[in-house]
Chains A and B, each alone.
Chain A
Amino acid sequence: MDIGGGVEESSRQVQVRFVTKLKPPYKTPPTSLAIPTNINRWRLSDIVNNILGAGVDDWQYQPFDIVIDGKYLRVSLEEFLLAKGISAERVIEIEYIKVVAPRREDISLHDDWVSAVDGSSDGYILTGCYDGLGRIWKDTGICTHILEGHTGPITSVCVIKPKVEGAFDQLVATASKDRALRLWKFDAGKSAQPKKIRAFKILKGHNAAVQSIAAEPSGEMVCSGSWDCAINLWQANGSDAGGDIVSVKKRKKGGGDEEPQSEGAVVSTLVGHTQCVSSVVWPQHETIFSASWDHSIRRWDVETGKDSLNMFCGKAINCLDIGGESSTLIAAGGSDHIIRIWDPRKPGKYDPIFQFSGHNSWISSCKWHNKSWFHLVSASYDGKVMIWDLRTAFPLGVIDSHKNKVLCADWWKDDSVISGGVDSKLCVSSGISVE
């Protein structure tokens, strides 16, 4: 079986076998074929499509990305083999996967800059906006709830217990520049008109603008990083009892609030950062990761309140996420154009294990994919959202739909990237097939 051989007779040929982890319609027979070495990934994708479409009448062209030995093919096959030192004698196993690139882009307009977005719940998208309103989007363009109450721009939002499926009692938290956090409870059921809701709990205790918020995996607590250099832990459960007990003295000052709203007080404060805590992540019950403008990334032990890891990284950090291989890698971006990934399991070494430089400006957001160990989305002030794979130094996909700075980005429903920016748009790029 010789498919590509007819194109250029002069080039060398290698024996290859196409393998995949995709489901049957995309499976090829496990035969090896000879192909010329001077072809690139697009031609290889064509070959795979030819094989797949051989038996089917109405085959729809499906672009594939080519992975050889765990690395993406980005140059011609010959160069790749030479660079990796792979012998052309043996049968080379070429894995093809679906191209990780968005198929569709939908836009939801806001009234002001979209500063925060959270897509950890499959049922809705939570966004924070500079007009001080949080919004719940059922789907693109369908806003179900408007979270009203903040007096300053919302800087960060998070969904508490995103995995709990159910229409009622969805819990979300927002942080704002008005130095307060608000917890919201809403019914995720459908509604034709955007329904304005008020927060059921206001968490006050920060002395400066709150910059970031993260919820504990079990949903009981919320932590927040602020410009006052502190990380505060708050009780987040829906029952008012916990909040009421500790919020007695707060209530004196915040007396003007409406009846159903209660105030919560700080449960505990993690002190150590010397500058604005720009990002907090709470991946496990006992550890909190935080990134700050004081050029450090710290890991906190929630029980003791001490930092068990203090990683100096030389740049002011804007965003941080934990994920990747067994949810341990730290990805962070900051006041330069490089996304750095550290492995905190390596003792004593604080050199980043990966560095992705594709952006031109500050990185405003980076998020690991929920399921994949390799995929990462990043947003930058240069107006681009990029999808990265640890196996290649080049971005897999670039979403260029924003006109100005992108302030936030996240994955949604495992196959979409949602991003918000200065152009007041929430952009949902769907159809990204991450295996």
Chain B
Amino acid sequence: MIGRSFVVSKLKTIRISLQLQLQFGYLDSRLTMKIPKNKKQQKKEEAGKINETLGRIGQQLAQVADNSEDSSSDSDFEVVDNESLSEDEGSISESGMEQSEPSDNEDVVVSSDDDNNDDDDVGSAGDGDDRNGDDTSNSSEVDGGESDDSREVVEESDSSEDEVAPRNTVGSVPLEWYKDEEHIGYNLAGRKIKKKERQNKLDSFLASADDSKSWRKIYDEYNDEEVELTKEDTKLIRRLLEGKAPHADFDPYEPYVDFFAWDDSKHPLSNAPEPKRRFIPSKWESKKVLELVRAFRKGRIKFDDKPKEESNLYDVWADDSSLTERQGLTHIPAPKFKFPGHEESFNPSREYILSQEEINAHQLLPEEDRPKLIPKQFMFYRSVPAYEKAVSESFGRCLDLYLCPRARKKRINIDPETLKPKLPSRKELRPYPTTCYLEYKGHKGPVTSVTTESTGQWIASGSNDGSVRVWEVETGRCLRVWDIGEPVLQVVWNPLPELPLLAIAAGQDVFILNTGLGSEEEQKKIEELLCVETPTAPDDSDKNASFISWGPDDKHGGVRLKHFKTVSSIEWHRKGDYLSTLMPYDILSPNLNFIYLLIHTHLIGIRHCCEAFCLLSLCFCSFLNSLKRESRSVLIHQLSKKLTQRIPYKLRGLAVSSAFHPIRSIFFISTKKDVRVYDLLKQKLIKKLEPGVREVSSIAIHPSGDNVIVGSKDGKLVWFDMDLSSQPYKVLKSHEKDINKVSFHRSYPLFCSCSDDCTAYVFHGKVYSDLNQNPLIVPLEILRGHASAEGRGVLDCKFHPRQPWLFTAGADSVIRLYCH
């Protein structure tokens, strides 16, 4: 209904001018307003009243005419006049005149209407009734005619809409007012327009179903007719519904025509000069400021400089968390108390009072589990005694405060994973030895040493059972066994492939044996090389010769170097001609020993006489001792000339291990505490490396010669970069027990350490030719498999010279080969 009425009203606005419509509507409404009401009153009585009111209107009009001076009041008058006219005649010409001045009139009419509301009402009512009475008299006849007319009009409107004028003059009153009436309003002539006969709903539905145009037919309640919308109408409605302008040819987005000629305005619109007041300070402002200043001086204006007093109340139950930030990090909030409950009342309810059994049960509990408070009942508050623990608790609190730490312990929250160095994954660093595939079994005692031939075809091993064995790497076959007779401490294969010689340290002897693995020509050379004349009697004049004797070894067919002390370690020079031997233990010669003992006993005898002298002598003695020790513990033998040299350097401490530099003529000697690096050509100490470990057990030199690893008896592996400093580049604490041996691979970037904890560790140790880049050390693999024997684990480890394989010699008399 709303939609329809909306559409109809829209249509109306288009068809006729709004003003006209309103005008008539207003008038009509005035007339019709009272009609339904008055209908129930007696008509005859009111006929007289109408006359009265008409007369009153006339008077009022006259008054208005007198009072009004302006022209505007003229219209007022006219309107009222119109009113009366229209009531009387309702001529169209009059309404057409009204159209010329629409809005003003309307307003004024309303105001006047307000002023004389009652009178108008009465008057109009009278008019309406009057006419009603007329109409009703001939209603039956007129109704029929009127209705016919209206029907015709409707039909006409269907055919030619533009010409149709509104027939109903009832105005914009609610149509409900006419709901019960037989007419719908009044035509221009003031006649009633009869309601049309309603079609039966069923019929209308059928008709609408038949009629293909029924969807565009609209029932106009106002005029009581059906309107069929044309295509233009539907288009217009659609546009309105879309929120566009009703006319299609209206363009809301017309380009804005800027009519002002901006381009030519070189000069300001006003050519007047700036007024002077823009440049001088304001007189009134300065006066005001002066006034304020005076007021301040005289104290008429005061500042409220006191801060507002904050309340000293403390919210006991407030949440302390917000306060912590204000009081800084050192603030430690007091512990929270539980809210007091009923049981803490001086007179709690019965159910809180404990029975004697419960109290006894509490007594059985351990003290820390007992409840702190046992509720007690007092009849009066005044009978509550003082808190018995007041003193002790306040003392405790004082102690708490006194002992409370005043500084907060700082804890750094770091993910330990992030502290780990970024290392490449092990997969990228392949190949390296991982799995044990081959075992070389045959020794009867712990295998102390293993050594590889330079091509990697054979290995040799020495054992505590006094045998030296040569093995075929590929099959694990033992090719040769020598029985030395003494526990073999070390076996070293000559680095030259054409000299398959073995240097064996056993007891005080060093044997150089021919393995017989070379070709016939090589064998001949070796035989020539190992040909030694019978040992000459030790010449006392030559000190060197007195310590070492070169002689043929009849039993095994090699050379035998008799040392004066137990040889612990031997090392070949890379050229295979020189051989260094180490005698770490108790190096003193018998002569010196004797002297030392003599002095010692002598000193004991005279100790009580002069202690100072004693100390001095001891110092001298130890100096003598060290002097002799250094010169003899490390020897270098030359195989081709059968010569032995001493190292002319001083050593402090027992020599443990020695090594030749793989490229240059540099010699490394490690004592228990440090590693000394000597230049053999210049005969001087180049460097002293300080591993900072308890006891050095072995050293190994990187094939490039600039890096040294040191294994220690406290399980640490220390990497030195010779270019960096005498301090370790890296210390790897990996083994639980003593490291027995460390070793570098000749070609792969691998090194390893073996220990008494029956494991061997394999590391990736890449040294870059770029001096700016530090060596990369990555632990790769822990090789297990050896069994412990008499507290010893893996005694020696050596890499295969060409494959990434590792040989380990164990105290369980087995040599294992770990392959990649």
Contacts and interface: CB of A to CB of B under 8 A. Distances in A.
Interface in A40-91: none
A130 B456 CA distance: 20
A113 interface: yes
A137 B819 CA distance: 36
Contacts of A316: 803, 819
B519 A405 contact: no
Given A293-B802, A361-B437, A276 B457 contact: yes
Contacts of A422: 475, 477
Contacts of A208: 455, 457
B437 A227 contact: no
A407 interface: yes
A179 B519 contact: yes
A233 to B, nearest CB: 21
Interface string A276-309: 1010000000000000011000000000000000
Contacts of B437: 335-337, 361-362, 381
A392 interface: no
Given A276-B457, A335-B819, A336-B819, A314 B431 contact: yes
A100 interface: no
Nearest to B521: A253
B820 interface: yes
A207 B519 contact: yes
B662 interface: no
Nearest to B430: A314
A337 B819 CA distance: 11
A362 B477 contact: no
* Count class of interface residues, chain B: 10 to 19
Interface string A329-340: 000000111000
Contacts of A293: 456, 802-803
Interface string A248-290: 0000000000000000000000000001101000000000000
B438 A361 contact: yes
B187 interface: no
Provide the main secondary structure of the chain B interface: loop
A417 to B, nearest CB: 21
Contacts of A381: 437-438, 476
B118 interface: no
A113 B475 contact: yes
A275 B474 CA distance: 13
B99 interface: no
A147 interface: no
A421 to B, nearest CB: 10
Given A113-B475, A209-B457, A362 B820 contact: no
Q: Which of A115, A275, A335 counts the most chain B CB atoms within 10 A?
A: A335
B19 interface: no
A336 B476 contact: no
A315 B820 contact: yes
B476 A405 contact: yes
A294 B438 CA distance: 19
B544 interface: no
Q: Which of A113, A179, A293 counts the most chain B CB atoms within 10 A?
A: A293
A232 interface: no
B217 to A, nearest CB: 69
A318 interface: yes
B455 A335 contact: no
B435 interface: yes
A297 B802 CA distance: 17
Contact of A407 (B431, B456, B475, B819): B475
B803 A113 contact: no
Given A318-B474, A336-B435, 6 more contacts: A209-B457, A227-B455, A275-B802, A293-B456, A314-B431, A381-B437
Nearest 9 pairs of A and B residues by beta carbon: A335-B819, A361-B437, A362-B437, A227-B457, A275-B802, A316-B803, A179-B519, A227-B455, A336-B819
27 contacts: A113-B475, A115-B475, A130-B477, A179-B519, A207-B519, A208-B455, A208-B457, A227-B455, A227-B457, A276-B455, A276-B456, A293-B802, A293-B803, A314-B430, A314-B431, A315-B820, A318-B474, A335-B805, A335-B820, A336-B437, A337-B437, A361-B438, A381-B437, A381-B438, A405-B475, A405-B476, A407-B475
